[in-house]
Amino acid sequence: MDLTKTYPASVKEKWHGVVHLRRAIDKGKAKAHGDIGEYHYNCPMDQGLFAFLGIDHEALLDVITKAKSDQEISDYVGPFVHKKSAAEIEAWNAEFLKGAPAPGSESEKFFLDLRNQVAPDRTDVTRWADLLDLDEKREVPKVVAV
């Protein structure tokens, strides 16, 4: 995966039923091959995923680096995922996708700066997953105030 030429999977894409897992692995593949570009493997979002699953990011990166196929990576992460119940995964997915920067934080400043660069008219976008999709040219439905 060359992230200097393409985008990683969306945060919203599920792999083994878990959001963000495919994206973290895409970034790991790019890091392993020196093509990560502006992306960061083991960023705070990745760290949240790895903590939930109990995966050591360095061990996963080692597996990714040595893997000859996605199946080998899947075989490694599968047991971590299967330790969680379907209800735990769905609850975690829902909470993860709600992730937004804390008001007044450096994270919020970064978020607003990026949103203003990629879609200044999209003040309805307040969650990381939506902003990353916008930045990577994916469709993000507008949120209508009720």
Chain segment 74-91, per-residue pLDDT in tens: 999 999 999 999 999 999
Tell me the pLDDT of the chain averaged across its residues: 95
Burial zone of 109 (CB within 10 Å; 0-12 exposed, 13-18 middle, 19+ buried): exposed
Structure confidence at residue 146 (pLDDT): 61
Percent of the chain with pLDDT over 90: 96
pLDDT at 1: 83
Smallest CA-to-CA distance from 101 within 85, 65, 125 is with: 125
Check pLDDT > 80 for residue 46.
yes
pLDDT of 106 above 80? yes
Distance of alpha carbon 134 from alpha carbon 140, whole angstroms: 6
* Domain limits, the chain: 1-97, 100-146
Please state, in angstroms and rounded to a whole number, the distance separating the CA atoms of residues 17 and 14: 5
Q: Is the pTM of this model over 0.85?
A: yes
pLDDT tier for residue 145 given thresholds of 50, 70 and 90: low
What's the rounded Cα separation, in Å, for the pair 41 and 28? 6
- The tokens of 39 are what? 């992306």
pLDDT on residue 143: 79
List, for residues 8-30, the tens digit of each pLDDT value. 999 999 999 999 999 999 999 99
